[in-house]
Amino acid sequence: MSETVRLTRQEEIDIITIDNPPVNALGPGVPEAIQGAIESAGSDPGVNAIVVIGAGRTFIAGADIREFVKIVRGEKPRRTLLPLLTAIEACAKPVIMAIHGQALGGGLEVAMAGHYRVIAAGAQVGQPEVKLGIIPGATGTQRLPRLAGIAKAVEMCAFGEPIGAGDALASGIVDRIVDGDLLAGAIAFAREVAHMPAPRTSQRNSRLSESDPAIFAAARQQAQKTKRGQTAPLAAIEAVEAATRLPFDEGCALEAKLFGECLYSTQCRALIHAFFAERAVSKIPGIPVDIQPREIRRAAVIGAGTMGGGITMTYANAGIPVIVKETSQEALDRGMATIRKNYAGSVKKGKLAQAAMDERMARITPQLSYAGFEDADIIVEAVFEGMALKKQVFAEIDAIAKPSCILASNTSYLDIDEIASATGRAGMVLGNHFFSPANVMRLLEIVRGEATSHEAIATCMALARKLKKVGVLAGNCRGFIGNRMLGPYLREAQFLVEEGATVADVNQAMYDFGMAMGPLAMSDLAGLDVGWRIRKEFRHLERPGVRQPLVADLLCEMGRYGQKTGRGWSQYDENRNVSPDPETETLIEKTARAAGIERRSIEAGEIVDRCVLALINEGAKLLEEGIALRASDIDVVYLNGYAFPAWRGGPMFYADTIGLDRVLARLEEFETRHGGELWSPAPLLKRLAGSGKTFSSLDQEAAAAAG
């Protein structure tokens, strides 16, 4: 047998164990080895049945995604999964799949080629391929509807969410849930079925009669809404639909065709980039791999406002007792009421059990003093965005907190080193920049100061995983990674309306590009007053003679902060439905004319280029300064913090797909038209474009250099 597949025997039952850490992906040699074991056991007269099980933490997490990267780059694909599936299904002895952890993608397809499936209580099964811009490519879209019915198969293949053991049993995907020892349970089951006919999934057609065109129509509508702009979900629906009208083999042929079309698409490259980018963020050069993160058993949060409340929930959700401190009972009650309302909303939607809500509320201790802060392992400050107040608060907690306690600021823009200077423990001070709503958004920017210790960084990176966040390390500059890039992006959106585009034009163009919402709509949601307070804080840094947006401050002086006041760039009714605000449009026009700005009609293409290239150019600058470790980290920030479309891979990957030479040419065009202060191309971008390189190749070189 091979290193990755073991064949053992328990009396008359053969056991095939797949052992390809970390997730038993079906990488090179694995399918062939499993097939060899199946054929050997299948032809052994001493064997009555075969159990297939995974070693380690999971059954099979699918095909080896890295192989797809090679195929798209031109390597010859190894068509090894189908022969394996055929061998399993044709085996003379019943093959029982024993699933724990996850059976995902090709992993579920292997399981469904088996004659029976048993599953551990906490395990999951799924076809997440659409999250990688592909569809199941090894008979999954043809076998799943035969086991689970049409509606379930469409839902799982088109939307990619895994389901639990209970749901898998109820829908007919598995035959039994095993509590306790999975292998023992699987062997017992194998003995029960050893002398029964081995049902072949490919021949189980009874559930195909459940077909109804309404199922596919509803799924397409939902995909166009929730997977807007993505091609794979629609391809997955088409493939499952084929199962209802084509014989198994022809259905598989159509699936393979659709799979191939998806695989060679830019969307697939972008989504696979996003998959590995998210897993690369935790690899930080220079931090010893054996450094032990501290365990965070108790937390404390200062400020129960918009962010403090969400951060408090995040800790309670992760099972960590958390104190939340405010300045007044009224502010504390307001913060706690919001927390309670959010949990009650999740209970109402059936996303959270009442008991779980009660447990989480019980982990939260609201108060007006620093009592108990001396026991905290981390203190997160989320008070108003002002340097003086933050330094005062850090001086206060520095005096109370135990020496090993990490002091983190949720500041959006302020200098971490200056905040740390208010303490005697700069090594334990860093930024933990959550995104609103903090209990929902997955991104956590971890901002290292000059003196921040490796231990503090490693502890927060590990903590991010525990809080179910994606922790991205950022250097200390104004706005760190995300908000620093957001500046030029929002600047251009505002310049475009001054130059003649309407607010709706700008929002629509970026919405059609794939953003969850346009830049001005996003500002209205976040609150124009937040940006206003920050501009006031940094007014002294504005460069004389450099063009600044004119209208946002005027709207704020009129008390128009966006959705929270019903008016901002647009106007909102009591149900937050948006409509153009003629007064704002008039204000924009009047202000622009008074400033001598020429107004013209502007195409959507220019709107997208001005906004997105401003983002990319600033990204290249902060990459060169080392504020971001990798271009792919910037992509992870924008995918998880700013709703940049994942199927475009993030701003830096998107730039690579356009071609850095074309990006540079367009930047130089804008530089000529709008001036070098705002549009001078980042030196790094010039160098990469000049040498025919990409941001991805830059990351690969850095990864290779880091070893």
Q: Catalytic positions, please? A: 109, 129
Query: Binding of ligand T1G at residue 61 (CB under 6 A)?
Result: yes
Residues 6 or more apart in contact with residue 331 via CB below 8 angstroms:
304, 305
Residue 303 binds to ligand NAD (criterion: CB under 6 A): yes
Q: Which listed range, 150-158, 181-189, 409-417, 635-643, lies at the site for ligand NAD (CB under 6 A)? A: 409-417
Q: Does 382 bind ligand NAD (CB under 6 A)?
A: yes
From the list 113, 393, 592, 698, which residue makes contact with ligand NAD (rule: CB under 6 A)? 393
Nearest to residue 538, comparing CAs of 415, 423, 393, 678?
415
Q: State which residue, 236 or 379, has the beta carbon closest to ligand T1G.
A: 236
Residue 109, interface with ligand T1G (CB under 6 A)? Answer: yes
Neighbours of 285 (CB within 10 A): 11
CA angle 164, 166, 170 (to 5 degrees): 120
In the complex with ligand T1G, the residue whose CB is nearer, 317 or 411, is: 317
Q: Which does 23 bind (CB under 5 to 8 A by kind): ligand NAD, ligand T1G, none?
A: ligand T1G
Residue 137 or 310 having the CB closest to ligand NAD: 310
Cα(441)–Cα(34) distance, rounded to whole angstroms? Answer: 40
Site for ligand NAD (CB under 6 A): which residue of 119, 165, 307, 688? 307
Closest approach of Cβ 446 to ligand T1G, in Å? 18
**What is the footprint of ligand T1G within residues 136-165 (CB under 6 A)?**
136-138, 140
Binding to ligand NAD (CB under 6 A) within 457-496 occurs at: none
- Of 106, 251, 366, 562, the residue at the interface with ligand T1G (CB under 6 A) is 106
Which of 10, 205, 224, 327 touches ligand NAD by CB under 6 A?
327
Binder of residue 412, out of ligand NAD, ligand T1G, none (CB less than 5 to 8 A by kind) = ligand NAD
Q: Is the peptide bond before 580 cis (omega within 30 degrees of 0)?
A: no
Q: Per-residue string for binding with ligand T1G, 29-58, x by CB under 6 A?
A: -----------------------------x
Nearer to ligand NAD, 329 or 579 (CB): 329
CB 105, min distance to ligand T1G, A: 3
- Burial degree of 390 (CB within 10 A; 0-12, 13-18, 19+): buried
Binding flag, residue 62, ligand T1G (CB under 6 A): yes
431 is a contact residue toward ligand NAD (CB under 6 A)? no
Cross-strand bridge partners of residue 473:
446
Report how far apart the first and last C-alpha atoms of the chain are (Å, whole number).
32
Q: Which is nearer to ligand T1G, 473 or 684 (CB)?
A: 473
DSSP per position, 412-439: SSS-HHHHHTTSS-GGGEEEEEE-SSTT
Q: Which does 61 bind (CB under 5 to 8 A by kind): ligand T1G, ligand NAD, none?
A: ligand T1G
Considering only the stretches 97-105, 111-119, 646-654, 661-669, report the one whose residues sit in contact with ligand T1G under the rule CB under 6 A: 97-105
Q: For residue 288, say if its preceding peptide bond is cis, omega within 30 degrees of 0.
A: no
Stretch that binds ligand NAD, among 54-62, 151-159, 298-306, 565-573 (CB under 6 A): 298-306
Quick one: 51 or 300, whose CB is closer to ligand NAD? Answer: 300
* Site membership for ligand NAD, residue 515 (CB under 6 A): no
The verdict on 22 binding ligand T1G (CB under 6 A) reads yes
Q: Which residues contact 526 (CB under 8 A, 6 or more apart)?
A: 436, 562
Measured in degrees and rounded to the nearest 5, phi and psi for residue 562 equal 105, -145
From 8-16, 48-56, 72-80, 299-307, span contacting ligand NAD (CB under 6 A)? 299-307
Q: Which backbone phi and psi does 618 adopt, to 5 degrees?
A: -70, -35
Among 63, 470, 481, 496, binds ligand T1G (CB under 6 A): 63
In terms of CB distance, is 443 or 496 closer to ligand NAD?
Answer: 443
8 Å CB contact between 393 and 384: no
Q: How far apart are CA 429 and CA 571, in angstroms?
A: 41
- Rounded to 5 degrees, what are φ and ψ at 693? -95, 175
List residues bridging with 15 in a β-sheet: 8, 51
**Binding window for ligand NAD (CB under 6 A); candidates: 40-48, 112-120, 264-272, 434-442:** 434-442
- Does residue 591 belong to the site contacting ligand NAD (CB under 6 A)? no
Distances 661 to 308, 686, 687 between C-alpha atoms, Å: 44, 8, 10
CB atoms within 10 A of CB 201: 21
User: Least CB distance from residue 520 to ligand NAD, whole Å?
Assistant: 16
Q: Which residues pair with 120 in a beta bridge?
A: 178
Binding to ligand NAD (CB under 6 A) within 523-562 occurs at 526, 530
652: helix, coil or strand?
helix
**326 makes contact with ligand NAD (CB under 6 A):** yes
Main-chain dihedrals φ then ψ at residue 603, nearest 5 degrees:
-75, 155
DSSP 460: H
CB under 5 to 8 A by kind: which of ligand NAD, ligand T1G, none does 382 bind? ligand NAD
Considering the complex, what minimum distance in angstroms separates the CB of residue 518 from ligand NAD?
Answer: 17
State the residue for tokens 């995104």: 435
Quick one: 462 or 620, whose CB is closer to ligand T1G? 462
- Least distance between ligand T1G and beta carbon 616 (Å): 26
Q: How far is CA 31 from CA 28, 37, 83, 86, 541, in A?
A: 7, 10, 9, 12, 60
Place of tokens 């992509």: 635
CB atoms closer than 10 angstroms to residue 661 = 12
CA distances to 37, 182, 188, 611 from 11, rounded to whole Å, are: 17, 17, 12, 67
C-alpha distances in Å from residue 488, one per residue of 303, 528, 678: 30, 16, 8
Closest residue to ligand T1G: CB criterion: 105
Place of tokens 């940006």: 531
Cα distances (angstroms) measured from residue 126 to each of 129, 277, 408:
9, 22, 38
How far from the centroid of its chain's Cα atoms is residue 70's Cα? Answer: 23
Beta bridge partners of 570: 580
CA geometry: angle 461, 464, 466, nearest 5 deg: 120
Q: How far is CA 561 from the centre of its chain?
A: 29
Q: Cα–Cα distance between 232 and 245 in angstroms, integer? A: 20
Q: Is 253 in the site for ligand T1G (CB under 6 A)?
A: no
CB of 133 to ligand T1G, least distance (A): 10
Of ligand NAD, ligand T1G, none, which one does residue 102 interact with (CB within 5 to 8 Å by kind)? Answer: ligand T1G
Residue 128 contact, options ligand NAD, ligand T1G, none, Cβ 5-8 Å cut-off depending on partner type = ligand T1G
Q: Cβ-closest residue to ligand NAD?
A: 305
What is the contact mask toward ligand T1G in residues 264 to 293, using x (rule: CB under 6 A)? ---------------x--------------
- Residue 109's binding partner among ligand NAD, ligand T1G, none (Cβ under 5 to 8 angstroms by kind) is ligand T1G
Angstrom CA distances, 364 to 122, 178, 296, 336, stand at 28, 36, 15, 9
Tokens standing for 207?
A: 């559930």
Nearest residue (CB) to ligand NAD, 467 versus 501: 467
Q: Which of residues 119-138 bind ligand T1G (CB under 6 A)?
A: 128-129, 132, 134, 136-138
Does 66 bind ligand T1G (CB under 6 A)? Our answer is yes
Residues engaged in binding ligand T1G (CB under 6 A): 22-23, 25, 58, 61-66, 81, 102, 104-106, 109, 128-129, 132, 134, 136-138, 140, 279
Residues engaged in binding ligand NAD (CB under 6 A): 302-308, 325-327, 331, 382-385, 389, 393, 410-412, 434-436, 526, 530
